[in-house]
Each structure stands twice: as structure tokens, then as C-alpha cells.
Structure 1
Amino acid sequence: MKWSLSLGRVAGIRILVHWTFVLLLGWVAFTEAQRGSDLNTTLLAIGFILAVFFCVVLHELGHALTAKRYGINTKMITLLPIGGVASLEKMPEKPKQELMVALAGPAVNVVIALLLWLILPSLQNMPAEDFFMHITPANFLYMLLFVNVVLVLFNAIPAFPMDGGRVLRALLAFKLGRVRATQIAANLGQLLAIFFVFIGFFYNPFLILIGAFVYFGAYSENIVVQHLDFLRGHTVREGMMTNFVTLAPTDTVRDALDKLLMGAEHEFIVEEEGQVVGTLTRSQLIQAVKNEQMQIPVAQIMTVEVKTFNVHDRLSEAYTELQKSRAPLYPVLENGRLAGVINTDNINEFIMIKSALTH
């Protein structure tokens, strides 16, 4: 994710923190300053936020490491002001596996809360009236226990992209199949999202943000699953484009600009005698123009490391990869030679046609 700082790796998974996380820490410091808190109290409040997000990282690692048991890797875990996001390659399609992956995150918070509950003394002899008004060394761990319980309850909400939505989908999928189960879980999630937004207008504006996050998360999950269902059983050959413009590595930037202006292509495959040697995007061309490099060969500015598909690969895999990487297009090979190109737009058109033919 852009504008993220790497904190290192755990079990091969990169841990990133987005720059907006600094805004959260700044808001905490500002709030404490408004209350007239001293430096030690402010640092303690910031430390509490960091402790909470450490628990969030452990939560996401629960998802990631459980998914790894089923052969699904996780590229990174990104911390945002609203929580953590584990970038799994995909969710398991088998209901039992998805259920285990979805439950693994909240299970981590349950374990943390239980451990804190076991080691902390009872609150019976403590002044309940003001004990939890502010973060103090005395209530720090109690508050952390409370937050982990809240994380479990919040993630239990049966709405995508929360864990509860995936648990509901997995349970429904045992009887109804993945597509129908996703539709039901997504529709319920969107109804809950509208409720969050409505309540947010009257009580807490933060609920509006959560509602929007849930609504669009549920919508996109439903669309992706429906699309993958349409693509099931089809190969890349069926969804690729065979009418496309290529460049030779010796073509100049001016040659590429002429082809850009003459057609509808924004990205080009650079090939030599049927062998793919690179790709060139419109942004790379514009940058070369700004640098007054009109006469240099495109081989000097093209991207050399290129992922390719084979004509016999599953079209659903190409769709998933394009959604994940946001790459403009991929070359498609047959017997090692360039046979076509594939991009998200063409796959969406393939889905649209297939959908129209089935109605």
C-alpha cells in the first residue's frame, strides 16, 4: 500500500503502518492536551493506542497464519486508523476453511482477554466511579481487556468485511452454496451499514464512516463472488483480446506516442519475434516526453519484469490477479509465444455478455 512504513516481517508477512495512523496518534495527543494532561499522561494514552493496535496485528496474524495452513499466503498486514487489513491472496472457497480463517482473528482477541482476566486482580475493591475515566497505569491492562472484548463483539457483526460476515457466509454456504450465501450475507451487511449511517447522524459521526466501509465492502464482495461464478469453467483464451498493438524494443518513444494517438491503447506489450520482453504504459511514455527522451528506444523505459498468463489458465485466476495487482494488462502466451492480452475491462465485458446470454 502506498505511503506506508514497513515495521518488519512476521512469519514472512510484511507489517505496514499507513501514514494516516499518525493522524490518530496526533488526535490522541491533541485530546489529552485539551484536557490539560501532562506529558506522562499523554504518552501513556499514546502507548495505550499502540498496545491496542498490537492486539490488532495479532488478530490479523491469526487470520493470516490460519489461511497459510490451507495454502493461502498473505503479502502484508496494514495498520490504518480504523483497524488492520490482512492482504490475503484470496479467501478459501471451501466453507469449513473459510469458517476457520474467519474465526481465527477473533479467537486471538478472546485468548488475549482471557489471559488478562486471569492475571488481573478483581475490580470489587476498586472505586468504579472514576476508575475508567482516563487511561492510568492502574487501569491500563483493564482497559486493554475491555478493548479486546469489544473487538470480538464488533467483529461478530454479520456484515462484510467484518469476520462475522464471513462466518455467516461460510455457515450458509454449507447448505446454499457460496454464491447464494454471499448474496444473503452481503444484503444483510448493507442493511446493517445503512443502520450504522442513520444512527451516526444522531449520535456518533464515526458510525457513518464505519457504515460506508461496511456497505461498500459487502457490495464489492458480492460482485466479486458473482463474477468468479460466471468465470468458472472458462479459460483465459476465451476472455483475451487478440486485436492489439505491440511495440518492438527498438521503437522510439516518438513511435510509441504515434501509436498511442492513433488507437485506443493506453498500454503496450513490447515483443520481439513473438517473445514478450516488456510492457510500456502511458504514464511511462509521458514521463519520457517530460524528460525530453523522444528518440530513445522504448527498451530503455519499459518494465522488464512481466507476469504472463497461458491460454489454458483459468479465467477466474486471471480475474483475481488483475483485481489484486491493479495491473493495466497482462500478456497471454501459447507455446511460449505472444497470443493475446488480457485486462480487467475485457473480462468484465466477457462477464456482461455471459450474464446477458443466461437471462
Structure 2
Amino acid sequence: MKWSLKLGRIAGIKILVHWTFVILLGWIVFSEMQRGSDLFTTLLSLAFVLTIFLCVVLHELGHALTAKRFGVNTKMITLLPIGGVASLERIPENPKQELLIAVAGPAVNVVIALVLWIVLPPLRDIPGEEFFSRITLANFFYLLFFINLILVIFNAIPAFPMDGGRVLRALLAFKLGRVRATQIAANLGQMLAIFFVFIGFFYNPFLILIGIFVFFGAWSENMLVQHLDFLRGHLVREGMMTNFVTLTPTETVRDALSKLLTGSEHDFVVEQDGQVVGTLTRMQLIQAVKEEQVEKPVAEIMTQEVKAFNVQDKLAEAYTELQKTKAPLFPVLDNGRLAGVINSDNINEFILIKSALAH
């Protein structure tokens, strides 16, 4: 995710924190200053929030490590002011596997709460409002216990793509199939998202952010599953472009700019006698112009490590890879030689045409 700071790695998974996290910490400091808190109380509040997000990281690791058991890797875990996001390479289509991955995160919070329940001395009285209104050394871990319970309850809400929504999708998929289950779970998630936004205007602005995240997350997941269903059974050969412009390694940046301006291509495959040697994007060209490198051969600025698909590969796999990597295009090979180019726009047009023909 853009504008994220890398904190390190756990079990080979990058842990990132988004820059907007600073806004949350700043808001906490501002709130404590408004209340007249001293430095120690302010630092304790910050430590409490950071401890909560440590629990969030463990929650996301629960998803990631369970997914790894099913052969699904996780690229990164990103911390946002509204929680954490584990970027799994894919969601298993097997409903049992998705169910286990979805419940693994909240299960971690249950374990944390259980450990705190066992270790902490029992409270003598039922906590009052004052107990929850200010963080002290005396109530720090008790509040952490309650927060982990809240995380379990909150994630149980069937608002797709949250954990509860994924559990619902997995359970529905046992009987209805993945596509129909996704539609139901996504529609329910979007209705709950609208409710979150409405309530957020009156009570807590964070609910608005959560509602927006849930709404568009549900929409994009639903679209992705429907698109993959349309692509099932089709090969890359059917969705690739065969009328495209290429560059040779010896052509200059100026030559590439000319082809960019006179044609419809934004990104190019660089090939030599039918062999792919690299790719060149519009952004790379613009950067070369800014650095006054218009006479340089494209071989010096192109991306040399290129993933390519074969004409016999599954079109759904190419679409998934394009969505995952955000690559502008992939070359398509036939017996090792360049036969076509594939990108997200062309696959989306393929889906649009197939959908129209189906009706």
C-alpha cells in the first residue's frame, strides 16, 4: 500500500503502518491535552493504543498463518487507523479453507482475552463509567481485555469483507456456490455499511470510515468473484491483444514517445526477434523525459524482469495476477515467442462482451 512505513517482518510477512496512523496518534494527544492530562497520562494513552494495534497485528497473523497452511501466502499486513489488513495473495475457493482462515483472526483475540482473564485478579465491583473513561496503570490490562472482546464481537458482524462476512460467505458457499454466496454476503455487507455511515454522522466519525471501507470492499470482492466466474474455462489466447505496438531495445526514449503520442498504447513490450527482453511503462518514459534522457536507448530504462503468460494458460489466472500485482500488462508467449499482450482493460472488455452475449 502506498505511503506506508515498513516496521519489519514477522514469519516472512512485511508489517507496514499507513501514514494516516499518525493522524490517530495526533488525535489522541490532542484529546488528552484538551482534558488537561499530564505527560505520563498522555504517553500511557498512546501506549494503550499501540498495544491494541499489537493485538490487531496478532489477529491478522492468525489469518495469514492459517492461510499459509493452505498454500496461500500473505504479502503484507498494513495497519490503518480503523484496523489492520492482511493482503493475502488470494482467498481459497474451498469454503472450508476460507471458513478456517476467517475465524483464525478472532480466535487470536479470544486467546488473548482468555489469558488476560486468567492472569488478572478478579474485579471486586462492576466497573463504572469512570473506569472506562481514563486509562491508568490500574485498569490498563483490564481495558485491553474488554477491547479484545469487542474486537471479537465487532469482527463477528456479517459485513463482508470483514471476518464475519467471510464466515457467512463460506457457510453459504457450502450450499449455494461461491458466486451466489458472495452476492448475498456482499449485499448484506453494503447494507450494514450504509447503516454504519448513517450512525457515524450522529455518534462516531470512525464508523463513517469503516462504513466506506466495508461498502467498497464488498463491492470490489463481489465484482472480482463474478469476473472470475465469467473467465472460468477460457484461455489467455481468447483474451489477449494481437494488434499491438512493440519496441526494440535499441530504440530511443524519443522513438518510444513518438509511438506513445501517435498510437493508443500507454505501455510497451520490448522485444528482439520475437523474444521478450523487457517492458516499458508510460511512467518510466515520463521519468526519463524529466531526467533529460530522451536519447537513451529504452534498454537502459526498461524493466528487465518480466512475467509472461502462455497462450494456453487460464485467463482467470492472468486476471488474478494483474489484479494482484497492478502490472500494466503481461506479454503472452506461444512456443517461447511473443504472440500477444494482455492487460486488465482488455480482460474487462472480454468479460463485458461475454456478459452481453449471455443475455
1:317 aligned partner: 317
Which amino acid in the other structure matches residue 287 of structure 1?
A: Q
Tell me the residue number matched to 1:118.
Answer: 118
Partner residue of 1:274?
274
Q: How does 1:93-104 map to 2 (within 5 A)?
A: 93-104=93-104
The corresponding residue for 1:242 is 242
Equivalent pairs counted in the alignment come to 359
| Mapping 1:101-180, distance limit 5 Å | 101-125=101-125, 128-180=128-180
Q: What is the one-letter code of the residue matched to 1:161?
A: P
* Structure 2 unmatched runs, 5+: none
The 3-state SS of whatever aligns with 2:112 is helix
1:65-80 residue pairs with structure 2 within 5 A? 65-80=65-80
Q: Secondary structure at the match of 1:331?
A: strand
- Quick one: distance in 2 between partners of 1:98 and 1:14? 22
Partner of residue 220, structure 1: 220
Structure-2 residue corresponding to 1:326? 326
Question: Could you say which residue in structure 2 is the equivalent of 1:285?
Answer: 285
Question: Could you say if the C-alpha distance between residues 229 and 45 of structure 1 is closer, same or farther in structure 2, counting changes exceeding 3 Å?
Answer: same
Assess if the C-alpha contact under 8 Å between 2:311 and 2:334 holds in 1.
yes
CA distance in 1, matches of 2:350, 2:50: 46
Q: Which amino acid aligns with 1:175?
A: K
Structure 2 counterpart of 1:13, one-letter code: I
| Greater mean alpha carbon deviation, residues 308-317 or residues 69-78 | 308-317
1:277 counterpart SS class = strand
Change beyond 3 A, Cα 1:127–1:264: closer
> Which residue is equivalent to 2:307?
307
Pairwise mapping of residues 50-69 of structure 1 onto structure 2 (< 5 A)?
50-69=50-69
- In structure 2, distance between residues paired with 1:288 and 1:202: 50
List per-residue Cα deviations over 1:94-133 (Å, max 9, x = no partner).
0100000000000000110111111111112476352222
| Mapped partners of 2:199, 2:111: distance in 1 | 31
Is 1:341 equivalent to 2:341 in the alignment?
yes
Amino acid at match of 1:298: V
- Cα distance between partner residues in 2 of 1:12 and 1:183: 34
Q: In structure 1, the residue corresponding to 2:66 is in which secondary structure?
A: helix
The Cα shift of 1:290 comes to 2.1
SS in 2 for 1:108: helix
Residue 232 of structure 2 aligns with which residue?
232
Deviations 1:265-308 (A, max 9, x none): 00010000111111111121122222222211111111111111
Give the Cα–Cα distance (whole angstroms) in 2 for the partners of residues 64 and 220 of structure 1. 21
Task: Give, in angstroms, the shift of residue 21 of structure 1.
Answer: 1.1
> Where does residue 258 of structure 2 map in the other structure?
258
When normalised by structure 2's length, the TM-score is 0.98
What is the rounded CA distance, in whole Å, between the counterparts of 1:87 and 1:248 in structure 2? Answer: 36
CA distance in 2, matches of 1:171, 1:200: 30
Tell me which amino acid in the other structure corresponds to 1:23.
I
In 2, the alpha carbon distance for the partners of 1:325 and 1:39 equals: 44
Distance 1:306 1:19 in 2: 31
Q: Distance in 2 between matches of 1:206 and 1:84?
A: 14
Moved segments of 4+, more than 4 Å:
none
SS in 2 for 1:137: coil
The offset of 1:242, in angstroms, is 0.6
Alignment-derived partner of residue 295 in structure 2: 295
In 2, Cα distance between the equivalents of 1:34 and 1:331?
A: 58
Q: CA RMSD in A?
A: 1.1
Matched to 2:222, the amino acid is N
The residue type paired with residue 220 of structure 2 is S
Deviation, structure 1 residue 223: 0.6
The residue matched to 1:209 in structure 2 has which SS?
A: helix
Distance 1:287 1:162, change over 3 A: same
Q: CA deviation at 1:227?
A: 0.3
TM-superposed deviation, 1:44: 0.5
User: CA offsets, 1:64-86, max 9 Å, x none?
Assistant: 00000000000111111111010
The answer (yes or no) to whether the contact 2:82–2:206 under 8 Å persists in 1 is no
Residues 229-272 of structure 1: per-residue CA shift (max 9 Å, x gap) = 00111111111101000000000111111111111000010000
Distance in structure 2 (CA, Å) of the matches to 1:242 and 1:129:
68
- What SS is found at the alignment partner of 1:131? helix
- Counterpart CA distance in 2 for 1:312 and 1:205 is 50
AA paired with 2:135?
A: I
Deviation at 1:214, TM superposition (A): 1.0
Cα contact 2:82–2:209 (8 A) shared by 1: no
- Say whether 1:3 aligns with 2:3: yes
**Corresponding residue of 2:23:** 23
Amino acid at match of 2:219: Y
